[in-house]
């Protein structure tokens, strides 16, 4: 007689949607899936995320047969709670650029290098601490009412445990190292909150979630949650990148490039890093190690913008790009359609350079957009290698990873093997692995079915062109050594 497989659920409350995967504990194979959209906009009330989670769970067939759950979510984004657990106000998302002046103020007050020294983070407008200052300066009433600050996954985990408005259970809030490391009031060295930085930014103390160890359990599901029986163990959860890294099995020598809404490049490190140049964020991972990471606001949405401008589909954009030569005949795109976080250019917009009657073709334009996007990411690899975090292979994931044009052009821009894990929801998968660890005491080893791309001749032109365009727009003063390669 066949025995029913043990099922575990991973939840990813991302910027755009909430996704739920239910997987076979023994193989990692997905057996059910559900998804629900989040509201657009960059300031969102957290109740929308809870509602979307419940919808996604329902669309995934509910958790009646699920043995464990874990939640991952968008990093940095805070949820402000009052003394009894009510949400105080809508939350500014990590990509809300309204906190840029507050980031500047915090850097000015504390010193950019001091933030890096204390927290490993070159402060960006995405970090939780800048959102605290934003709230302090824009909504004093909400600030006064705030008694606790959690991150999205912390708050959703807490809700799954049956807490919520009026629960008087702020001390039950939990988080993990990865999420804490994105707040800019936590130290990778000590593993402790830097509460003085929190107070400096927010102007008052507040309750912060307890930081759990990688294999701890946050709790169990509470009562009367639609589609979710009570008593299911809940894993520690993590930030989205940490979950994806866990699912990919990222270890020493692995670099990951994730091309989703935003672009992310990261690698594994046993120790926290401190990048005085201000590119690399020293996050913690989900295993007890660290995840030095560089993020850009612009990534695969650039391809949407390119396809819209050229009036073509994504497939046609990719086909045209592959018809053009490497370097796009010198046509160059700086792809800051939405401003940029790395480098710190929140008010920038995209620009097209070196356009002539001869080279401003659809094919070159298509390729220049893809090259511009990928060179931005490759430059982030350079930032990691300057910290002696060199990679032996590059794993390409995210929504744009299956594109042949992206794969081909990336292989021409880097001089290390490019590996494409099979398409999957790696954040939900990582969350599911955390759920599994609650049952087994260790993380499962599930296959990623990766394929290695054939090496292609290296092309330096797009990197050179981007550097020149950056200088010409005044984004950098001069070409720095090493920026041309």
Which residues are part of the catalytic machinery?
A: 240
Nearer to other proteins, 23 or 100 (CB): 100
Instruction: Assess 305 for contact with other proteins (CB under 8 A).
Output: yes
Q: Which of 2, 226, 231, 311 binds other proteins (CB under 8 A)?
A: 311
3-state secondary structure of 190: coil
Instruction: Assess 310 for contact with other proteins (CB under 8 A).
Output: yes
Instruction: Assess 329 for contact with other proteins (CB under 8 A).
Output: no
Instruction: Assess 393 for contact with other proteins (CB under 8 A).
Output: no
**Distance (Å, whole) CA 165 – CA 180:** 23
Considering only residues 275 to 294 of the shown chain, the ones binding other proteins according to CB under 8 A are none
Site string for other proteins, 415-434 (x = CB under 8 A): --------------------
Site string for other proteins, 464-483 (x = CB under 8 A): -------xxxx---------
Nearer to other proteins, 185 or 365 (CB): 365
Instruction: Assess 330 for contact with other proteins (CB under 8 A).
Output: yes
Nearer to other proteins, 178 or 302 (CB): 302
Question: Nearest distance from residue 49's CB to other proteins, in Å?
Answer: 24
Q: Which of 31, 104, 105, 309 binds other proteins (CB under 8 A)?
A: 309
Residue (of 143, 127, 134) closest to 205 by Cα position: 143
Considering only residues 351 to 390 of the shown chain, the ones binding other proteins according to CB under 8 A are 351-357, 360-362, 365
Nearer to other proteins, 88 or 467 (CB): 467
Residue (of 303, 311, 350) closest to 466 by Cα position: 350
What is the separation of C-alpha 249 from the centre of its chain, rounded to a whole number of angstroms? 17
**Distance (Å, whole) CA 386 – CA 414:** 15
Given CA atoms 185, 45, 169, 284 in this order, what sign does their dihedral have? Answer: negative
3-state secondary structure of 32: strand
Number of residues that bind other proteins (CB under 8 A): 28
Residue (of 274, 281, 297) closest to 346 by Cα position: 297
Nearer to other proteins, 136 or 353 (CB): 353
What is the signed CA dihedral for 328, 329, 330, 332, rounded to 10 degrees? -30
Question: Nearest distance from residue 31's CB to other proteins, in Å?
Answer: 37
Instruction: Assess 350 for contact with other proteins (CB under 8 A).
Output: yes
Nearer to other proteins, 67 or 345 (CB): 345
Nearer to other proteins, 162 or 260 (CB): 260
Please state the length of the chain: 485
Q: What's the 3-state SS for 200-241?
A: HHHCCCCECCEEECCCCEEEECCCCECCECCCCEEECCEEHH
Question: Nearest distance from residue 304's CB to other proteins, in Å?
Answer: 7
Question: Nearest distance from residue 153's CB to other proteins, in Å?
Answer: 27
Q: Which residues of 241-255 are buried (b: 16+ CB within 10 A; e: fewer)?
A: bbbbbbbbbbeeebb
Alpha helix segments (H runs only) across 79-121: 100-110, 112-119
For residues 245 and 383, the answer to whether their CB atoms sit within 8 Å is no
For residues 145 and 204, the answer to whether their CB atoms sit within 8 Å is no
HSE toward the beta carbon, residue 290, CA cutoff 13 A: 24
Question: Nearest distance from residue 360's CB to other proteins, in Å?
Answer: 5
Footprint of other proteins on this chain (CB under 8 A)?
A: 301-302, 304-305, 308-311, 330, 337-338, 349-357, 360-362, 365, 471-474
């Amino acid at each position: 007689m066949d025995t029913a497989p043990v099922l575990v659920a991973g939840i990813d409350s991302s910027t755009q949607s909430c996704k739920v995967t239910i997987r076979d504990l023994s193989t990692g194979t997905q057996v059910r899936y559900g998804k629900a959209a989040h509201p657009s906009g960059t300031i969102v009330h957290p109740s929308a995320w809870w509602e979307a989670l419940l919808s996604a769970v329902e669309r995934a067939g509910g958790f009646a047969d699920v043995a464990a759950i874990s939640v991952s979510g968008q990093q940095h984004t805070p949820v402000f709670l009052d003394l009894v657990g009510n949400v105080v106000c809508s939350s500014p998302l990590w990509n809300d650029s309204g906190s840029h002046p507050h980031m500047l103020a915090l850097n000015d007050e504390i010193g950019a290098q001091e933030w890096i020294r204390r927290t490993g983070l070159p402060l960006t407008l995405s970090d939780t601490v800048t959102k605290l200052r934003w709230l302090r300066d824009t909504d004093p009433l909400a600030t006064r009412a705030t008694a606790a600050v959690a991150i999205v996954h912390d708050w959703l985990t807490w809700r799954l445990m049956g807490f919520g408005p009026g629960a008087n259970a702020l001390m039950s809030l939990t988080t993990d190292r990865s999420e804490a490391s994105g707040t800019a009031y936590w130290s990778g060295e000590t593993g402790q909150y830097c509460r003085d930085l929190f107070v400096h930014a927010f102007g008052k103390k507040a309750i912060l979630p307890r930081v759990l160890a990688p294999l701890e359990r946050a709790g169990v599901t509470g009562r009367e949650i639609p589609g979710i029986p009570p008593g299911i163990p809940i894993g520690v959860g993590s930030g989205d990148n940490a979950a994806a890294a866990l699912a990919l099995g990222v270890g020493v020598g692995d670099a990951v490039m994730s091309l989703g809404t935003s672009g992310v490049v990261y690698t594994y490190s046993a120790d926290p890093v401190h990048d005085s140049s201000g590119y690399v964020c020293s996050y913690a991972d989900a295993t007890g190690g660290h995840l030095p990471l560089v993020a850009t606001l612009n990534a695969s949405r650039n391809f949407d913008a390119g396809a819209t401008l050229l009036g073509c589909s994504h497939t046609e954009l990719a086909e045209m790009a592959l018809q053009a030569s490497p370097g796009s005949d010198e046509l160059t795109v700086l792809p800051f359609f939405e401003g940029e976080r790395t480098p710190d250019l929140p008010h920038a917009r995209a620009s097209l350079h070196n356009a002539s009657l001869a080279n401003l073709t659809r094919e070159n334009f298509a390729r220049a957009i893809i090259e511009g996007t990928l060179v931005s990411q490759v430059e982030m690899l350079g930032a990691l290698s300057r910290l002696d975090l060199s990679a032996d292979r590059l794993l390409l994931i995210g929504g744009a990873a299956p594109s042949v044009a992206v794969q081909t052009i990336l292989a021409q821009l880097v001089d290390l093997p490019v590996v494409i894990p099979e398409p999957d929801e790696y954040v939900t998968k990582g969350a599911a692995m955390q759920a599994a660890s609650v049952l087994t005491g260790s993380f499962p080893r599930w296959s990623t079915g990766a394929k290695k791309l054939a090496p292609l001749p290296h092309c330096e032109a797009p990197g050179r062109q981007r550097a020149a365009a950056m200088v010409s727009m005044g984004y950098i003063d001069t070409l720095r050594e090493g920026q041309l390669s």
